[in-house]
Structure 1
Amino acid sequence: MRAASHAARPERGDDDDRAWAIMEPVRRQIRLAMGLGAVSGLAVLATMICLAMTVLALRDHPGQVPWVWMLGALAGTVASYLARLGAFNQSHYAAFRLERILRSRLAERMAEVPLGYIQALGAGGLTKVIHDDVKALHVFVADSTPLYARAYVTPLATAAILFWLDWRLALAVLAVLGLGILSMRGAQKRRRNMARLYNEAREKVSAAVVEFVQAMPVVRNFDTGHSSFGRYQQALDAYLAVLARWYRDSGRSVRMTWAILSPLPTLAVVLWLGLWQVREGELDAVRWLAILLLCTGMAESVMPMMMLRHMIDKVRLSIARIHDVLAAPLLPVPAQGHSRRPADSGVVFDDVSFRYGPDETEALRHVSFVAVPGSVTALVGPSGAGKSTVARLIPRFWDVTGGRILIGGVDIRDMGADDLMRQVAFVFQDTFLFSDSIAENIRLGCPDATDEEVIAAARAAQAHDFIAALPQGYDTPAGERGALLSGGQRQRITIARAILQNRPVLVLDEATAFADPENEAALIRALGELTRGKTVITVTHRLQSVVHADQILVFDAGRLVQAGRHHDLLAQPGRYARLWASHAEAQAWTLGHMRKGAAE
């Protein structure tokens, strides 16, 4: 983590360093893979030398079989194969290990950052980082490191041997290599900018595909795909334009580079120059043969450099996103052993202000109230007034930007995460169930709970009857995000989960917002069981459900504008009286009234 965090924000031009720094957790295994890749390249050179010595021995002693050199060539071939196989085995194992390590670190980081950061990044963005971006590193780590060793060790060793055999032909081979490198530089001109445009265009296509598929019900009902498919088509056209531009700008240089660095140009140069030297008596035929065997490997070994550059370009954005998430700001927590525990379940907002981002307007402005232990506090107001923000600040999904929140007399910022979660349970309108059994979903947060305790919580949440009627009872899978259950059933399982946790402070955010009348009755009975003896903070738009609350807090535009009991607030002119009048009008509304109004 330290290496990854250190490399999280390097200067421009350090892209290669970022690419290699992210492999720090598997550095030893990568070095072993690179070492084996170098051994493989050297073994190939040794094989070529042994073959040349075999020809020399046959020339000097035609009647004798040069077993030593032949066995040496065979050993070199086997060693090259085994070393190459071992290099790629090590690099692939390292890639799989790195995937596991990075995903674990990313998940740990997500558990330590403010929820606001996660929501700003979004589920799609997180999925891309944790799954797609980490997966993109696999090819880079698995395939690049042995190539990297080959690209540097083999040319140097080959050059040394060629100069030892004949310095003139060695210079000729280097001249061909230099010409190929110059052509390669032309192929890589503007490579960084074009790679960025290519990656951006590819991601826009992926996003358009996901949007088109996920929005298919809406598409079929409203625009038959003309608008949404049009965006997909535009993304494809932009992607094609980038590819065409890249090919047009660098295609000729790339083809020229491949042609120069292929074996034939180097062989042609060495063949003609060597033939002239042999005819002039300036070069031994066996040395010429050895140079012919070795020279092609020098140019060919440079080609992996182009592949490496392409791999790095492909994963550069992935590496940057992974580094950014690993460097995300952490939610401050008290030092080990300094966490404070509250004296009771009272909740206090002391001059609290909050904004979701530095450039955004305040969602809450100087809010102060007290919820005494065991009381029910209802938060009401128009949409966007700040009610849900209050609810989400209590479990510290975000930190306040002004003032403080206390539970039992202790600032929640002075509590450790575990101590705070032992105090607060919450039930939101957006339920989430894991793709696991219903029993395990209820047991979430209390993994040691017995089956009897799980069933008791389900009974209290009015969920036992429908669970028992399922094919596998409590072992029935809930499906991805609870897709196999209805909304009311998912909500009651969420309430059962909160009942099992039995925490002294309970936060409810529109817990019955999407329930039908039958489910709503069951949910109200379940919530009655859940809230017994607890300090309850509830957010609701259904004013009928809060008439018996110990206190009602009325919010408007982020400010607390009224506070009191139902009858007291109703007797005062103000926001609550207007909300109640609107509520009463909505309760009296019928379809017949609407038709009558339309006719009039």
Structure 2
Amino acid sequence: MTITETTSTQDAEDPPPAPPPAPDTDTSRLVRAGALGRLLRPVRPHLIGCTVLSAVGTAAGLAPYIAIAEIARAALAGAPDAAIRTWVAVGAAGAVLRLVLLFASSRLGHYADAAILHHLRVRIVRHLGLLPLGWFRAAGSGRVKKAMTDDLEEMHQLIAHSLRELVGAVTAMAVGLAYLVLVDWRMALVTAAVPAAMLVAYRVSMRSMSAHLARLAAATGRINTTVVEYADGITVVKTFGGGDTGLGRFGEAVAEHTEAMRVWVAETRISSALSRLLACEPAVLAVVLAAGVPLVASGGLPAADLLPFLIVGIGLPTPIVPAVQGGQGLRQGRMAATGIDALLSREPLPRPTAPRPPDGHRVEFDRVSFSYDGVTDAITDVTFVCEPGTVTALVGPSGAGKSTIASLLPRFYDVTGGAIRIGGADLREIPAEALLSSMSLVFQDVALLRDTVTENIRVGRPDAGLRDVRRAAEAAQIHDVVERLPDGYGTVLGTDGAGLSGGERQRLTIARAILSDAPIVVLDEATASLDPDSQDAVQEALSTLAAGKTVLVIAHRLNTVRGADQIVVLDGGRVAETGAHDDLIARDGLYARMWRAQRNGADT
């Protein structure tokens, strides 16, 4: 038969959005630490070597400062020239060793960074290929983008920079303080009091950092999602003059991010300013002089022993800022690792333990039920059969479950009750590659690759020759349009289709489906929102695609499926009635009422 399915609205059956992130609790912090350790396990030896080199190199970097202090003490004490030359050699050797070890640490850290990011990107991409396709509709492309770019960037900062900086800063403070204690423990305590007070002020300013970072991360995720969604739909938004409306969600996400940052800054402005003040060298110098000069004047401290505190001591708070930044990088890396680990931990569709190929292409829905949220069924106890060589039309009110059924057949989701069989084999027993290769899917939403027209069509059969691609394009009524493009079949398309109209882009996807020559065809709102000329061309292409196949088509306008072999009427997620057009009209049920309503609407 000729399919003339025409639609004007899309089912409001999209799955619910992904749940919001869990609150930041002690348990979630433990999860983050565990996630980070699991993700970094392949490069753990490299990271250990990197941190050891950083620690030793930083300690060696203090040698020139200690040498200067000891040379001054030796000179004031009238020590022999040999002692001074020894400290000069120690200082020079420390400076050279610092350069060599920190360079080696940096190289090893960046090597580990490149290795683990490559490993994680490959893991993520492979795992995404195993997830149910329906998950991408619920999660949104912004969530994938966050894991692939933002979270991995945070991991890069942690591995290549923050970890080395944190270890080096802690080592510098520990070695410097140990040296000062050897000189005079009283002055060492006085000098250490300044960075200690600075750390207390910092801890006060960061007392609720986890909650603020979680709020900022959630706001950033919303911004990413809205940006991607707005960019993908910019053509539609601008066409209908809805720019302000389209930007509304983006504006709300930005406002939430701004408010989260404002609240955090307002809460920490005093303690943060105090911590920065105490981290300055003049603050340490003032404290050292205030405590040291009276001791020297009273004879309780040799004047020469005050010099190490003026040379090494005033620099004691300097590593604190890198340590703080490294600590923040560690926290952000843990949060990023949580997002990546959560994605990698998401259960893929179960693979069949005993794969079973279908025997033919008879499609059977056997008491099928499905719920997006695990609570409310989108469809319940749906039963019908699509015989090979016939067309089955799904009709019903918006939200009745038509698109849900179309999503279950290619196994975008697994059923929660009952079974769907192809050729007698349960979908869950059929390998994913064999299942998808047996179907041609044509949906309202057109997905084009950033590649040539040829490769966009060849997706349907990657090994197809150019002649087969052209034949498919001719059958889809798109060949003449392609020939008029700047480079013909070599024209590179973007997500906007390189200026192609909606109907032309739709015909490209039909050409892709024709080339695949799959025995089962699923048409979900395939001609919605098209102009009449495009509809005629697409209808002719669809008729070519569906010839002799097992066809399941979603229809909104009932007069377009009058000739269907079987019409399944859905209502509230259940099958209300099944039959041919004339039989359903004679029953005077839901279908007949819908038919009269549409006829009356067309007449007016």
**TM-score, normalised relative to structure 2:** 0.84
Contact (CA 8 Å) 2:513, 2:545: kept in 1 or not? yes
Which stretch shifts more, 446-455 or 214-223?
214-223
Q: Secondary structure at the match of 2:450?
A: coil
Once residues 213 and 365 of structure 2 are traced to their aligned partners in structure 1, the CA distance between those partners, rounded to angstroms, is 51
Answer yes or no: is the 8 Å Cα contact 1:110–1:118 preserved in 2.
no
- How far did residue 409 of structure 1 move? 0.6
Deviation, 1:63, is: 7.6
Are 1:463 and 2:478 matched, yes or no? Answer: yes
How far is the alpha carbon of 1:485 from its aligned partner? 1.4
Q: Paired residue for 1:581, among 596, 600, 603?
A: 596
Q: Tell me, in whole angstroms, the C-alpha distance in 2 between the residues paired with 1:76 and 1:119.
A: 58
The more displaced of 453-462 and 172-181 is 172-181
Of the structure 1 ranges 230-239 and 32-41, higher mean CA displacement relative to structure 2 is found in 230-239
Partner of 1:354: 370
Code of the residue aligned with 1:351 in structure 2: it is R
Corresponding residue for 1:135?
A: 153
**1:397 matched residue in structure 2:** 412
Bigger shift: residues 142-151 or 430-439: 142-151
Post-superposition offset of 1:411: 0.4
TM-aligned CA distance change 1:249 to 1:431, over 3 Å:
closer
Distance (Å, rounded) in 1 between the aligned partners of 2:423 and 2:248: 56
Q: Which moves more between the two structures, 131-140 or 502-511?
A: 131-140
Tell whether the 8 Å contact from 2:473 to 2:511 is kept in structure 1 after alignment. Answer: yes
Q: 1:112 aligns with which of 100, 105, 130?
A: 130
Residue of structure 2 equivalent to 1:31: 48
CA drift at 1:341: 0.4
Who is 1:432 aligned against?
A: 447
Question: Which structure is higher in RCO with an 8 Å CA cutoff and minimum separation 6?
Answer: 2
The gaps in structure 2 that reach 5 residues or longer are 1-23
Which residue does 2:101 correspond to in 1?
Answer: 83
The answer (yes or no) to whether the contact 1:58–1:64 under 8 Å persists in 2 is: no
Q: Give runs of aligned pairs for residues 285-434 of structure 1, distance below 5 A.
A: 288-312=306-330, 318-335=336-353, 338-360=354-376, 362-434=377-449
Using a 3 Å threshold, how does the CA distance of structure 1 residues 482 and 239 change in structure 2: closer, same or farther? closer
Amino acid at match of 1:246: W
Indicate conservation of the 8 Å contact 1:384/1:557, yes or no: yes
Stretch deviating more after TM superposition (9-18 or 489-498): 9-18
- Aligned equivalents of 2:407 and 2:256: distance in 1? 41
Give deviations 1:266-310, integer Å, cap 9, x for gaps: 344445655566667776665543454332343322333322344
The answer to which of 161-170 and 227-236 deviates more is 227-236
The CA distance in 2 between the partners of 1:218 and 1:518, in whole Å, is 23
Q: CA deviation at 1:376?
A: 2.0
Residues 12 and 370 of structure 1, relative CA distance in 2, 3 Å threshold = closer
Kept in 2: contact 1:478–1:485 (CA 8 A): no
Shift of 1:396: 0.5
**Counterpart in the other structure of 2:516:** 501
User: How far off its partner does 1:539 sit?
Assistant: 1.4
Decide whether aligned partners of structure 1 residues 229 and 436 sit closer, same or farther in structure 2, where only a CA change above 3 A counts: closer
SS in 2 for 1:425: strand
Q: Which moved more, 1:147-156 or 1:489-498?
A: 147-156
TM superposition shift of 1:390 = 1.5
Task: Say which is worse superposed, 250-259 or 398-407, in terms of deviation.
Answer: 250-259
Distance in 1 between residues matched to 2:236 and 2:317, nearest whole Å: 56
Query: Aligned-pair distance for 1:580?
Result: 3.0
Contact 1:47 1:74 in 2 (8 A): yes
- 1:519 aligned residue: 534
Indicate the SS of the match to 1:390: helix
Deviation at 1:366, TM superposition (A): 1.2
Cα drift, residue 408 of structure 1: 0.7
Alignment of 1:186-265 (within 5 A): 186-200=204-218, 225=244, 242-265=260-283
SS of the residue aligned with 1:14?
Answer: helix
SS in 2 for 1:125: helix
Cα deviations across residues 376-404 of structure 1 (Å, max 9, x unaligned)? 22222222222222221111011111110
Structure 1 position 571 matched with structure 2 position 586: yes
The answer on 1:43 being equivalent to 2:60 is yes
* Matched residue type, 1:357: D
For the residue of structure 1 that corresponds to 2:463, the secondary structure is coil
CA displacement at 1:43 relative to structure 2: 1.6
Structure 1 spans left out of the alignment, 5+ residues: 1-7, 590-600
| Mapping 1:515-594, distance limit 5 Å | 515-589=530-604
3-state SS, counterpart of residue 325 of structure 2: helix
DSSP 3-state at the match of 1:11? helix
User: Do residues 11 (structure 1) and 27 (structure 2) align?
Assistant: yes
Percentage of matched positions with identical amino acids: 36
1-side partners of 2:230 and 2:134: how far apart? 27
Q: Deviations over 1:219-245 (max 9, x none)?
A: 9978995x8888877776665655454
How many pairs are equivalent? 578
Distance 1:217 1:45 in 2: 62
Q: For 1:113 and 1:238, how far apart are their aligned partners in 2? A: 31
> Which amino acid is the alignment partner of residue 143 of structure 2?
G
State how far apart, in whole Å, the 2-side matches of 1:231 and 1:458 are: 39
Q: 1:195, 1:313 within 8 Å by CA — same for their partners in 2?
A: no
State whether residues 9 and 324 of structure 1, in contact with CA within 8 Å, keep that contact through their aligned partners in structure 2: no
8 Å CA contact retained: 2:50, 2:106: yes
- How far apart in 2 are the matches of 1:160 and 1:242? 41
Post-superposition Cα deviations, 1:431-474, rounded to whole Å, max 9, x if no partner, equal: 11111111111111422222222222222222222112211111
Secondary structure, in 3 states, of the residue corresponding to 1:41?
A: helix
State the SS of the aligned residue for 1:299: coil
Q: CA deviation at 1:251?
A: 2.2
* Displacement after TM superposition at 1:217 (Å): 8.1
